[in-house]
Structure 1
Amino acid sequence: MKTPTLDARLEAVLDLIRAGVHADIGSDHAHLPIRLVREGRVTRGVVVELNPGPLALARRNVARARLEDRLEVREGDGFAPLAPGEVDSASLTGMGAGTMAGILRRAGERLPPALVVQPNDSPRPLRVWAREHGYHLTHERLIPGYWPYPVLRLERRNGPDPAYAGLPPDAALRYGPHLLREGPALLRGQVRADLTRLAPLAAPGRTAQTELEAARAAWAVLEP
């Protein structure tokens, strides 16, 4: 089997992973863990998939890659097929952030010390979850595509996350503390679009008002 080609968002996920044993949760075709092993980014991997079709595809691709001795494909929901402490890191990609946060909440003691997540919508629920469960946001990126795809690396650490220090809390949770400090063009465009979209919808007591205030605070950081 040729080395799988990944799209830009999964290439960004790949770039943030280095571990002894890594689990890819909801792996689908298993292309990401195959690349991780072939490039020496992980020593061994666990491929977790719940749905029968993608599960069969993952098993077939791992067999074609001749990596059955280093990649184990398991059927199951979220982190349930893993034992506590079995893996050093895990990835979740291509799902809604709310779905991912639910998977992480149910994982309990099976959670590894490092996570790389790529939601298909606003990552705010994941940033909130991380702050509430002792994970620091160490890296984040926005990848252009059908829409801007956020990619976050979370690591279990003690104390408050220093990434948020000195930033407006709502703006940092919505748009990302590292991204606000770096100010990439993709984020600037996203904030400008939110300002335009939310302004006519905002009124006291409405969600749009809270979101508009977060966008204005973000823009104040981006354009001091």
Structure 2
Amino acid sequence: MRLPSLDARLEAVLALIRAGTHADIGSDHAHLPIRLIAQGRAERCVVVELHPGPLAHARGNVARARLAARIEVRAGDGFGPLAPGEVDSASVTGMGAGTIAGILRRAGEGRLPPALVLQPNDSPGPLRVWAREHGYHLRAERLIPGHWPYPVLRLERRPGDDPAYQGLPLAAALRYGPHLLREGATLLRRQVWADIVRLTPLAAPGRTAQTQLETARAALEVLGGDGH
């Protein structure tokens, strides 16, 4: 069987998944679940797709991979087609953070699995906020180069406060990522510095840009230097 190729952001998602049963929400082509099964990172997958075209595409790819016995493709919106407790983890990728947060909110506590891997196409700040409010800890995060830096987050349901944020300025950690700030990767440094350059001429007392600039400067202090 020839495995489908994944771009760098989905390769990063793949590497953060290991589960008995995994759901890929809004899967589109089902390439990620096919790779998960083929590489032994999941025993079973459920593909959920709302739109008829991608739904047919996903079913065709699963059939060609001869994995219909282990990958079930379901029509529906978000976590709606899943039974409570049916899956161990789920991925939602390639959407805006606001869209992903809406999918998570509509799922309700019962259908959300213990682990989530999320890849938004813009700032993941709203997802980090959602996780803190709903009992999920940020266990790992990556920043993948592409058309823009793609964030990838792994969340796990855990009791108590998330230790990832301890000892960091909260606004900066929510905006840029606590693990990423501690790792100090070059890509994040460039992103923070670009924000400072963009926001500096816009900032003034009382403006949103001033608050955002202060957040970026706090992040730069954690990183310990400029963005070059």
Same fold (TM over 0.5): yes
Give the secondary structure class of the aligned counterpart of 2:212: helix
Identity of aligned residues (%): 80
- Tell me the equivalent position of 1:40: 40
2:170 maps to 1:187: no
- Tell me the equivalent position of 2:214: 213
Q: Which runs of 5+ in 1 are unaligned?
A: none
Give the secondary structure class of the aligned counterpart of 1:74: strand
1:6-155 matched pairs, under 5 angstroms = 6-108=6-108, 109-155=110-156
TM-score (normalizing by structure 1): 0.99
Give the secondary structure class of the aligned counterpart of 2:85: coil
Specify the code of the residue in structure 2 equivalent to 1:129. W
Give the secondary structure class of the aligned counterpart of 1:85: coil
- Tell me the equivalent position of 2:175: 174
- Tell me the equivalent position of 1:159: 160
Specify the code of the residue in structure 2 equivalent to 1:143. I
1:112-134 deviation per Cα after TM superposition (whole angstroms, max 9, x unaligned): 00000000000000000000000
- The number of equivalent residue pairs is 224
Where do 4+ consecutive residues of structure 1 move more than 3 Å? none
Specify the code of the residue in structure 2 equivalent to 1:207. T
In structure 2, distance between residues paired with 1:146 and 1:26: 21
1:22-55 deviation per Cα after TM superposition (whole angstroms, max 9, x unaligned): 0000000000000000000000000000011100
In structure 2, distance between residues paired with 1:173 and 1:203: 22
Give the secondary structure class of the aligned counterpart of 1:86: coil
CA offset at residue 194 of structure 1?
Answer: 0.3
In structure 1, distance between residues paired with 2:126 and 2:14: 22
Specify the code of the residue in structure 2 equivalent to 1:9. R
In structure 2, distance between residues paired with 1:58 and 1:205: 49
Q: CA RMSD in A?
A: 0.7
Q: Which runs of 5+ in 2 are unaligned?
A: none
